[in-house]
Amino acid sequence: MSQPPVFAVVGHPNKGKSSVVATLSQNDAIAIALEPGTTRASQSYPLTVDGRQLYTLVDTPGFQRPRRVLQWLEAHSLSASDHPDTVRAFVLQHKGDDRYVDETELLTPIIDGAGIIYVVDGSVPYSTEHEAEMTILRWTGRPSLALINSIGPDDYSDIWQSALGQFFQVVRKFDAVRAPFEQHLSLLRTFGQLEPDWEQPLYQATKLLLEQRVQRQRQAAAVIARALEDLMSYQERRTLTLDQVASTSEATLAETLRDRWYKRQRQREQTLRLDIEHLYQHQRIKRQEAELEWANQHDLFSEDTRKHWAVSKKYLATAGFGAGAVGGAGVDALTLGSSLGAGALVGGLLGAAGSYFYGDRLLLPALNIGPLKDGLKSASFGPVQDSQFGYVILGRAVDHWWHISHRNHAGRDLLELEPASHHWLEQLDKASRREIQRAFERCRKQRTLSHAQKLSFAVAIEKAMSAYDDWRLNRE
């Protein structure tokens, strides 16, 4: 079996090489800075899926003395046929030479068989000083493509396209921070066409990456479903002695349990977000919300959050009728059909009415104090009393998932979750709406979901995620 392809990412200092490597290797740990010379030694970053290495990106230092290197090459070459050998001779002769540390570092993986990804900044004007670099790379004889990665606001990509086309087999625009996943796959397919030995490995790589993307969405749906089940059914409990009962008013006890319940729910939502980020191999995301300390409109329990993410009364009534009708059908089954469907009808009407009535406000949990038993009293706060809380969590979770699943690993900007609209959920099929509403109702009543119900809940959430993805992409 052939070895996985290796690609050396090369170019002028501070032109986005590390950003390209971070995105194509799905590694947000790679240092990206504005100062030239951040990368001083070549570093390999393999991309692995399910334990299988698909390819390796090599982040290299930038060219420092390309004209002097080219002069040396031209002085030691007899004809075009010896160009690759001449480049190899330069590297071997100048290893350890302080004058050419960067050039020998970046050329080493290339003479060892790596393909070339040459990166330029399309937001700065083209300059002939880059021609020495491009000529050296052409001398290596390795398969190559050039990427125009615009860092600033200006656009000189057309001029770059014309110049690069004279040196490289393929030239593409590629924004390392914002390029969609499909462009990532397109680059792999292109390299497979440039190097016959890589065609099959890169075909398999694109296939596995597509499968991974589908699998990650399915796993994310299951993670969100588990968190929703936990958040909807959670109850804060405390056991009190007789002395504690005598010295603690119900108001104080309710406030203590409520504060603990709120804190735990907020922490659980943050854990959900971390789980989704780690699933997509984002380990170092900085959040705008982290600086807000839940002290404003972004808080999970704020009125502003509810307005953005709670579903409409009409939606609740429709979903509530479907969920209630399914429950009422059990009555018909128990009466062997003698109720003539009355159970389903009544259950549906009650579900719709309850959902409609509670649609405008979040019903907070109530304090419950149990009877004295063995000298102890139990007190509890929770679970949440209406399913709107579940829709708020679902909307925020799906929006966060969407931003993470579409975020390249070169991104270093703060993650800002700007609420969109709940209307995307109205595109969901009725069966999935009923499944989500039914799960919310069972959870808030602290009825454990069966294994089959958990699976159905996760499938419905995955469909909701796809609906949101379609809605966002059609809007943008």
CATH number of 6-194: 3.40.50.300
Cα 446 to Cα 460: distance, rounded to the nearest angstrom = 20
Q: Which helix or strand (DSSP H or E) is residue 58 part of?
A: strand 52-59
pLDDT for residue 323 = 53
Q: Is 417 helix (H, G, I), strand (E, B) or coil?
A: coil
The phi, psi pair for 377, rounded to 5°, reads -120, 145
Contact 18, 31 (CB under 8 A): yes
Question: Model pTM?
Answer: 0.86
The candidate with the shortest Cα–Cα distance to 121, out of 155, 144, 145, 171, is 155
Question: Can you give the residue ranges of every domain in the chain?
Answer: 6-194, 215-475
CB-based contacts of 212, cutoff 8 Å, min separation 6:
49, 50
| Positions in the chain whose pLDDT score sits under 70 | 1, 33-40, 287-297, 320-364, 418-422, 476
| pLDDT for position 245 | 74
- Return the pLDDT at 361: 52
Enter the tokens of residue 188.
């792999």
Cα distance between residue 226 and residue 321, in whole Å: 24
Q: How far is 231 from 274, CA to CA, in rounded Å?
A: 16
pLDDT at 331: 36
pLDDT score at 249: 85
Two structure tokens written together for 13: 């200092």
CB 424 within 8 A of CB 391: no
| 48, β-bridge pairs | 53
